[in-house]
A and B are shown apart, each in its own frame.
Chain A
Amino acid sequence: MSEERKKRETPLLDELESGPWPSFVKEIKKSDTPMADDLLGVLERSYEEHIGHWKHGGLVGVMGYGGGVIGRYSDVPQDFPEVAEFHTMRINQPAAWFYTSDALRKITDIWERHGSGLTNMHGSTGDIVLLGCKTEALEPTFAELTSLGFDLGGSGSDMRTPSCCIGQARCEWACYDTMGACYDFTQTYQDELHRPAFPYKYKLKFAGCPNDCVASVARSDMSFIGVWRDDIKVDAEQVKAYAASGKLDIQQDVCDRCPTRCMRWDGASLAIDNANCVKCMHCINAMPKALAPGDDRGAAILIGAKAPIVGGALLGSVLVPFIKMEPPYEEIKELLSRIWDLWAEYGKNRERVGEFIQRLGLGNFLEQIGLEPVPEMITAPRANPYVFYQDTVEEEA
């Protein structure tokens, strides 16, 4: 069929195929369908005119669901009829993105039959992102995917599809079962995932240690970052082996780079003042054979990260410095429901929870959700003007 079809000229886009790096133009051309042609065509037009030709949002979705389908329409459908409707479907990924090749083939087969065939593995939420679906094809695609055991992910003002690092499946640093937690929260909050009832999106991400391979500290309204409470485990023989190898200068590369300077190396043995360790993972990453997280493991809960859409970017800040991560995670779920209740009721439309806390003040927010302020919530003395320790000082004076 490609012989009969007259391909669109895309000289500007073609330049993007010329570099040594991967090219989305090259990849989209490979799919060689009328939809892919029109997609490149409309983008070429945008490059010429310096304006976008997509309209966002609308009324698209599948029956019963408020999330998972992101409406995209062309504002020049007469010129690019194949992409007049070009919706995105988000499909809830398996925890830590483990697939069999058979499952992947089945998903892509379904998608080639019903949609553009173009995918984004994986979106910023973690989902399997199927790009370019016509409105009439949404329900049939959904029906086939659900019969395989897949379901839609989140979009709009709902809990977004939770995601996690690979955790205990492969990684020795994992301080808790990230995949187990991710799956548990996804199942518990199916209603919050599919039926948007919040002021805006709410993302949960689970990282097994402070290396944070899912970048939860920057990308999730609530992140669960694995940490330990006891001492870093030191294998003294392996420390010596690193020193002897000549590949690592323990003083310069490890001790001097410890953010709190809590390590001492005397040329023969390594001492760590664990009370001052902030669990940055640097020393462990530098000497993986010699050092490891302690045995008393759990997670720190951070709140409020977001990418810049309405206000500026925010990183997550500590809400709970340490909590054991054990099913059924009841204490955490109770905390989460207090946060959701408060934010859902008083948050403004499109106000992320981080912005909500800034508006309300951390002190007021903590009081409302019933948490005591703790020093870990503050990065440096006087850095956080929201917490006031008023009563104590006056009473003693």
Chain B
Amino acid sequence: MSVGVDQVAEAMFQLVTETHGKKSLKAMDLTKAMIEKFGAAECDKELCKHAIRQLMDSGRCIYSYLGGSYITLPPDKA
């Protein structure tokens, strides 16, 4: 696979930013979107899991809870 964690994390971050305030995304929504974007040969669930972890550990994204757990932007960045 030539697509790396950084690249997927970046694409996820873009998607979260674009949809912010319009649509709430769960981890699986991001995963499905990335597999569609990069293709199943280049991007799998494991890679997406690592990308999400990177977004969380770096603080670029946070989880929110609204009857379910969603991935969103920190309040001061939104």
Asked whether, in the complex, the Cβ of A66 is within 8 Å of the Cβ of B63, the reply is: yes
The answer to whether the Cβ of B14 comes within 8 Å of any Cβ in the partner chain is no
Chain A positions within 8 Å of B52 at CB level: 195, 197
**Docked complex Cα distance between A199 and B66 (Å):** 12
Asked whether, in the complex, the Cβ of B72 is within 8 Å of the Cβ of A66, the reply is: no
**Docked complex Cα distance between A270 and B57 (Å):** 63
The answer to whether the Cβ of B69 comes within 8 Å of any Cβ in the partner chain is yes
Identify which of B49, B56, B57 gathers the most chain A CB atoms within 10 Å of its CB.
B56
Among A16-24, A173-181, A343-351, A381-389, the one that faces the other chain is A343-351
Chain B positions within 8 Å of A156 at CB level: 63, 65, 68-69
A59, A67, A349: the one contacting B68 at CB < 8 Å is: A349
Chain A positions within 8 Å of B62 at CB level: 59, 61
Chain B positions within 8 Å of A56 at CB level: 65
Chain B positions within 8 Å of A296 at CB level: none
Chain A positions within 8 Å of B74 at CB level: 59
**Docked complex Cα distance between A191 and B72 (Å):** 18
Asked whether, in the complex, the Cβ of B28 is within 8 Å of the Cβ of A197, the reply is: yes
A residues 110-168 near B (Cβ < 8 Å) are 155-158
Tell me what chain B mostly uses at the interface: helix, strand, loop, or mixed: mixed
The answer to whether the Cβ of A41 comes within 8 Å of any Cβ in the partner chain is no
Asked whether, in the complex, the Cβ of B63 is within 8 Å of the Cβ of A196, the reply is: yes
Asked whether, in the complex, the Cβ of B56 is within 8 Å of the Cβ of A58, the reply is: no
Chain B positions within 8 Å of A341 at CB level: 45
With A191-B49, A195-B27, A349-B26 as known contacts, state yes or no: A71 contacts B68, CB within 8 Å. Answer: no
Asked whether, in the complex, the Cβ of B75 is within 8 Å of the Cβ of A66, the reply is: no
Chain B positions within 8 Å of A58 at CB level: 64-66
> Which of the four size classes fits the interface of chain A?
20 to 34
The answer to whether the Cβ of B59 comes within 8 Å of any Cβ in the partner chain is yes
Who on chain A is nearest to B31 by CB? Answer: A197
The answer to whether the Cβ of A268 comes within 8 Å of any Cβ in the partner chain is no
The answer to whether the Cβ of B21 comes within 8 Å of any Cβ in the partner chain is no
A residues 45-97 near B (Cβ < 8 Å) are 56-59, 61, 63-67, 70-71
Tell me what chain A mostly uses at the interface: helix, strand, loop, or mixed: loop
Tell me how far the C-beta of B53 lies from the nearest C-beta in chain A, rounded to whole angstroms: 6
Tell me how far the C-beta of B48 lies from the nearest C-beta in chain A, rounded to whole angstroms: 9
Chain B positions within 8 Å of A206 at CB level: none
The answer to whether the Cβ of A224 comes within 8 Å of any Cβ in the partner chain is no
Asked whether, in the complex, the Cβ of B26 is within 8 Å of the Cβ of A59, the reply is: no
Chain A positions within 8 Å of B26 at CB level: 157, 196-197, 199, 349
With A59-B62, A197-B49 as known contacts, state yes or no: A66 contacts B69, CB within 8 Å. Answer: yes
**Docked complex Cα distance between A58 and B72 (Å):** 11
Chain B positions within 8 Å of A228 at CB level: none
Who on chain A is nearest to B52 by CB? Answer: A195
**Docked complex Cα distance between A344 and B46 (Å):** 13
**Docked complex Cα distance between A65 and B68 (Å):** 15
Tell me how far the C-beta of A238 lies from the nearest C-beta in chain B, rounded to whole angstroms: 53
Who on chain A is nearest to B66 by CB? Answer: A57
**Docked complex Cα distance between A199 and B67 (Å):** 10
Chain B positions within 8 Å of A197 at CB level: 26-28, 31, 49, 52
Tell me how far the C-beta of B40 lies from the nearest C-beta in chain A, rounded to whole angstroms: 13
Which A-B residue pairs are the 3 nearest by beta carbons? Answer: A66-B63, A196-B69, A197-B27
Residues of A within 8 A of B (CB): 56-59, 61, 63-67, 70-71, 155-158, 191, 195-200, 341, 344-345, 349-350
**Could you show 21 A-B contacts with beta carbons less than 8 Å apart?**
A57-B66, A58-B65, A58-B66, A59-B64, A59-B74, A59-B75, A61-B62, A61-B63, A63-B57, A67-B69, A191-B49, A195-B53, A195-B56, A197-B49, A198-B28, A199-B28, A199-B68, A200-B68, A344-B28, A345-B32, A349-B26
Inter-chain pairs besides A61-B63, A197-B49, 15 sampled, C-beta below 8 Å: A56-B65, A57-B64, A58-B65, A59-B64, A59-B75, A63-B59, A64-B57, A66-B63, A156-B68, A156-B69, A157-B69, A195-B49, A199-B26, A199-B28, A349-B68
